[in-house]
């Protein structure tokens, strides 16, 4: 099973960037979701974000999850 890299997320032209939501939503004291790594502000922004911004959000979320 291969893992999709953040720079591959939404790389297909015309296809929207998929939400990184894992349906394990739980915010910590820093308002970071322990399931997907996004900040509350990024979760709220997602619906109106461009694909470019969504890729940035996904990348930042992956970094946060990797740091623990």
- 58: closest CA among 28, 43, 27? 43
Q: Domain extents for the chain?
A: 22-67
List, for residues 29-65, the tens digit of each pLDDT value.
Answer: 999 999 999 999 999 999 999 999 999 999 999 999 9
- Read off the pTM: 0.78
Question: What is 5-66 written as a DSSP string?
Answer: PGGGTT-STTPPPPP---S---B-TTSBBTTT--BHHHHHHGGG--HHHHHHHHHHHHHHHH
pLDDT at position 11 is 54
């Amino acid at each position: 099973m291969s893992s999709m890299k953040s720079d591959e997320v939404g790389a297909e032209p015309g296809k929207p960037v998929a939400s990184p939501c894992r349906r394990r939503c739980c915010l910590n004291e820093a308002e970071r979701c322990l399931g997907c790594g996004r900040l509350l502000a990024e979760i709220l922004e997602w619906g109106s974000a461009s694909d470019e911004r969504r890729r940035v959000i996904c990348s930042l979320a992956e970094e946060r999850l990797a740091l623990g």
